[in-house]
Chain A
Amino acid sequence: MSVIAADRKPASDRKPVSDRRLARAAASSDRRFAAISHALLILWSVIVIVPMLWVLMSSFKSTGEILSSPFSLPDHWRFENYANAWTDANIGKYFLNSVIVVVSALILVMLLGAMCAYVLARFEFPGRRLIYYVMLAGLTFPVFLAIVPLFFQLQNFGLLNTRPGLILTYVAFALPFTMFFLYSFFRSLPHDVYEAALIDGAGDWRAFFQVMLPMARPGMAAVAIFNFLGLWNQFLLPVALNTDQDKWVLTQGMAAYASSQVYDIDYGALFAAIVVTVVPVLLVYCVFQRRIAGSVSQGTFR
């Protein structure tokens, strides 16, 4: 940069006034830009945070307090709202169901997605491109088109209203995304390492699990986070395919609890249930947020 600046010097000597004026104008517009930036971000942050804080605050109030004074802090912090939410709304049970389904699906889809991406990215065989584009189409089509046939597909396999059925469906619909994200990672891994592994006597299996997979770890972590958020937040698939109340996942349970509240309102417990649902994911996010920010740009810097 300094070199370029030095090159420019003679030019600015020739027309010092206009250049200086230009620079001053630019600097003042930059200050305005910075001020607007700050204002915009502060406003946006307020719009994001206030509803969340309000939910948190309301979760400690009684229904009467919420109705009469939505603003004020609770007179008396009702922690029993949380106990009520936990028992009435079965939040604990649904939470566990969500964890089981999401974690199993996540592990499966990461493994299968990585395997599929690896083969498609690094091997040459007839039909490779066709498979790639068919999966690309699967990524773009709306889930709604498939939801009714999917219902009967699962019924035919005896998988309707079962955890394995839900897990497999989650895996199938998260697979294209996982595959595409990892495809570019596996493509960019150096070929020499693979050759070296083969020379050292590793077969295709070992080359993948002991050499290539560990090398794709940054990509895997990023995809895993996105998949986790996507699967944890999944609503349509469980609502349509998982109607057995004992196996409900958290999003389903929350929706049902909220709509059952219409006639028998315990707002405090509803807000507490929302807090219980949101806080763990927010915490996980805060811990891993650097990876998310990094992951999206991952490809750019590789």
Chain B
Amino acid sequence: MKDTIPTAETASRRPEPAARGGRPRRRKLTFDRVTFFLAFLGVPLAIFVIFVLIPFGQAIFWGMTDWRGFSPDYNFVGFDNFTKMFQDDIFLKALRNVALLAAFVPLVTLTLALGVAVAITLGGPSKGPVRGIRGASFYRIISFFPYVVPAIIVGLIWAQMYDPNAGLLNGVLTGLGLDQFDTFAWLGEKAAAMPAVMFVIIWGLVGFYAVLFIAAIKGVPGELYEAAKIDGAGRFRTTISITLPAIRDSVQTAYIYLGIAALDAFVYVQAMVPNGGPDNSTLTISQRLFNVAFAKQQFGYATAMGVVLAAVTLVFAALVFLVNRLTGGGEGESKRKAPGSRARRAAAKGGAR
């Protein structure tokens, strides 16, 4: 089965007809066929080009102008916007903040998600074959809950949880005898605001990646586990030596998409600290961009920020790839890869978010 369904990688190396699993078909262009192609390829592509590609393309051009949006005239200013940006203290602060987000959020989220996924799939009774924990489906459903809640609502819920006076968090902490938290403003203290925001983002995303990893772990052939067991490996050893290497690809993909989500983070920060937090300690590039564009109407400058954000995203993705390659990932992967890996990779993006 595996060999008959090529992945993109193998497909590119094979002669085309075989890659499609069929014979080459060349039939004359009938009216039916022309309308078919127009409708099936033309319409989706037109929408994609008009609403996604062209705006992306325009962004790169407008990033080099001083356009203010509502007047038709603009000047081409080259890289002025970019030099201005890197002298703008607020922007630099935002850049530092998103770098922090990209460094910590994916790492912690994936560690937790892996922990949850491993516990659910492999934490079962110690006798007999490796199996899932009791109540696995309950835990799975619960841990996915936050992902179902709109991100803006997640932010709002936690903004209330963090509330210095009426919030549950300080209530719990003072209840435990930690009286210094009586009126502690989690989102109002410079040192606490960013970690508090990170925690909420992680809270909202762990469930999705846990479900993703559960699926990946279930795709690991059972014989591998049997063999490890016969060789005397315990559950912990099995997890480190069998499970993690086997789902390495999924982890890499998840890391990249999480990084993209963390670099953006607009929804969460907008819900919790719309003003950028104490001394701009939680301001993100996306918030700054939105403000510069739609409140100050400096559209040229704002799109330039978008370009920088995209560049940072690409650098992040490249770094993840590089690290994975250097530490020995991806070798011979294309041969072993299950046919569904592409679908899973697409799924890691988590829908249209």
Contacts and interface: CB of A to CB of B under 8 A. Distances in A.
A203 B36 CA distance: 9
A174 B351 contact: yes
A169 interface: yes
Given A48-B203, A292-B211, A176 B48 contact: yes
B95 interface: no
Given A55-B160, A205-B32, A255-B152, A147 B306 contact: yes
B4 to A, nearest CB: 8
B176 interface: no
A54 B234 contact: no
A177 B313 contact: no
A127 B79 CA distance: 34
B219 interface: yes
B330 interface: no
Contacts of A231: 351-352
B185 interface: no
A135 interface: yes
B76 interface: no
A118 B20 CA distance: 12
A123 to B, nearest CB: 8
Report whether over half of chain A's contact residues are helix, strand or loop; otherwise say mixed: helix
A211 interface: no
B218 interface: yes
Interface string A107-120: 00000110110111
A188 B215 CA distance: 19
A52 interface: yes
The size bracket of the interface on B is 35 or more
B62 interface: yes
A184 B339 contact: yes
The dominant DSSP class at the B interface is helix
A161 interface: no
B266 to A, nearest CB: 6
Interface in B296-353: 299, 302-303, 306-307, 309-310, 313, 317, 338-347, 349-353
29 contacts: A27-B127, A38-B133, A40-B115, A41-B116, A50-B168, A70-B167, A70-B168, A119-B37, A124-B24, A145-B56, A145-B309, A146-B52, A168-B47, A172-B52, A187-B20, A226-B350, A229-B351, A230-B350, A230-B352, A232-B150, A233-B152, A255-B270, A271-B160, A278-B149, A289-B140, A296-B212, A296-B214, A299-B341, A299-B343
Interface of B: 1, 5-6, 8, 12, 16-17, 20-22, 24-25, 32-33, 36-37, 39-41, 43-45, 47-48, 50-56, 58-59, 62, 69, 112, 115-116, 118-120, 122-127, 129, 133, 139-153, 156-161, 165-168, 171, 175, 203, 206-207, 211-212, 214-216, 218-219, 226-227, 230, 232-237, 256, 260, 263-264, 266-267, 270-271, 274, 285-286, 289-290, 293-294, 299, 302-303, 306-307, 309-310, 313, 317, 338-347, 349-353
5 A-B pairs with least C-beta separation? A299-B340, A230-B351, A37-B123, A30-B126, A230-B352
Given A180-B343, A299-B340, 19 more contacts: A27-B126, A27-B234, A41-B143, A45-B139, A124-B24, A138-B56, A140-B256, A144-B310, A149-B62, A153-B54, A183-B342, A184-B5, A184-B342, A187-B20, A230-B350, A231-B352, A293-B215, A297-B340, A299-B339
